Every structure is written in structure tokens, then in C-alpha cells.
Amino acid sequence: MKTILYLGAEVGAKAAEEVVANRAEVRRISADSEEVKAHIKTCAALLDASMKVRITDRMVESAVGLKIISCATTGSDHIDRQELDRRGIPVRTLMEDRELLLNLTPAAELSWALLMACARKLPAAVKHVVSGGWNREQFPGVMLNGRRIGIIGCGRIGTWMSRYARAFGMQIVGYDPLLTDYPPHIRPVSLEELSRTSDFITIHVPLTADTTGLFSKKHCEMVKPGAILINTSRGAVVDEQGLLSALQNNQMGAAGLDVLADEPDIQKSPLYQYARAHDNLIITPHCGGFSHDAVKVVCRRAAEKIIEHLDL
């Protein structure tokens, strides 16, 4: 019986097992590089719902029976491609499943939650009360109604963000390097205009060679004083040193991040170090797309692709 190596939460493993039934063994292992190295040698497929382990060319070289990698995620930049391409092993992702993705909203919902938390200084206010304080004047919020939100990446998640923004009475502008037809309620502008004029900036683009550093040091420097930045896409899309400088010099009011360039090894990240001592930077552990409801759906789809490819 062929083995499908599974990386991710238990709920996703169970969903994959339901799809696979008795046609293959789903072997769940921890998201640890040494464990992956040990087990990938004997698997026919890898179902990755974690993204915590870099899949290197050397790992693939040792996986003599590997036929497919199926990611229960839209991104796959943690996977080296040279050896996979040489052997003709496909990497499948949820980017192929637009219809399925349209109604998966956890990443957009976390993005909006980060925006609200930054706008209302929630972490600092909660910490203040827990420590025995009760002084609301220390935590003035930003009223969203009438403010401008700039959405970088106006696809699935960006469109959901625009819907939430409409409900809050916000002006909506957008920039997307891949779009020509924008949703009707998003006014397209240049990235420079978006950066200069938006009270809130939220980023929702995949990480590619073209989007690496897309929101550059220059853009961090030109934002409106007090602007709030949200990034739940990939850490490397933003110039992190530029963001840090903008927070340190109070050019930017706050930021909410679900991603860091060096994740999951964040201990040396300057942004992580800054967040430990400052309340205007909120960092969550790349959990935007993680909800049990969504994980079940995407792991089932990833498993289906494996079954089809292996003809089981």
C-alpha cells in the first residue's frame, strides 16, 4: 500500500483519510525537518498543510518513490523546485481551485480582526485592564467610517476586505499588479497614491519574484502619518526594515502581521523583537487561513489530487 506523508493539523489528517479510505496509508508526522527527512524516503506523495518545513532538493533526491506534492495552501514558496522539475514531479496548490477558495474566508476575517485590533489599540487596552487600570483616555480609537483603505491585491481575500470596508462606510482604493478588471467598488490607483493617501493599507498578494519587496522602504516612508498596515500574505512582500523604521519614528501608527520573512524561526527577527516591547505591532503565527472548517475542506481537496495523480 502506498504511503501519503501528511504535515499539518490532526483535523486535516482525518479529512484526508476519509478521502483516501483504504487505497493508501496517510502517515501523519510532526512538522520537523529531521522527521520529514526520515519519512519522505518511503512515501509516494506528500500532503503539506503546514508550510513549516522547507522541502529541499536534497530531501526530494532521497525520496525515490515520490510522485506528487499536494499543498492544502495557496502558497508553495517553501518548496525547492530544481529536483522536482528534473524528475517531473508536480506541486499542486489551492491556487488551482478558485471556486473552492471563493467561500473560504478565515484569512480575510483575521485580516479584518487585525485591522480592528490596531485601530482600537486592543492589545494595549486589554493589558492595561488586566494590570488594574481603567483609563480610557490612553486608548483613543480610529473611527473607520469615512476613512480610506488601500487594498494591495484585489483578488479573493482583497475582495472580501473591500466588502467588510463597505459595511464600515470606508472609501476603498486598490492596487493589483495582476488585475485589469477591478471589483466595481474598488477604485484602482497606483501603488504610490495608495501608499500616500490611505489610512489603512492591507496586503493580499502571493509571494513571487515580482512581489518580493513590493511594499518597499520607499512606500513605508511615504505613508500618511499614523497609517496602519496589515499584512497577512507573506512576510517578504514587505520591506521589513522599512516597516520597522516607520514604526520606530512614528510615521506609521501601527501594524498587524500574520507573517514574517523568517518564519517560523522568528527569534532573531527585528520586528519580533520590536513587538515584544511595543504595543503598536501585533504579530500572529500565520494562522489566518487556519480554522477547522477550512482545513477539512482544503485537505480533502489536496488528498483528491493525490488520489487522481496516483490513479488509486
Catalytic residue set: 234, 263, 286
Task: Give per-residue pLDDT as tens, 107-116.
Answer: 999 999 999 9
23-51 CB burial, b ≥16 within 10 A, e <16: ebebebbebeeeebeebbeebbbbbbbbb
Task: Give per-residue pLDDT as tens, 161-183.
Answer: 999 999 999 999 999 988 888 99
H-helix or E-strand spanning residue 222: helix 217-222
Q: Is the pLDDT of residue 31 over 90?
A: no
Over residues 2-10, mean pLDDT:
96
Map out the domains of the chain with their CATH numbers: 3-101+292-310 (3.40.50.720), 105-283 (3.40.50.720)
What was the pLDDT predicted at 307?
97
What was the pLDDT predicted at 77?
87
Task: Give per-residue pLDDT as tens, 230-288.
Answer: 999 999 999 999 999 999 999 999 999 999 999 988 999 999 999 999 999 999 999 99
Q: Name the percent of the chain lying above pLDDT 90.
A: 90
Sign, CA torsion 86/61/4/37: negative
Quote the pTM value.
0.86
Q: Is the pLDDT of residue 289 over 90?
A: no
What was the pLDDT predicted at 184?
86
16 vs 53: CA distance, rounded Å:
19
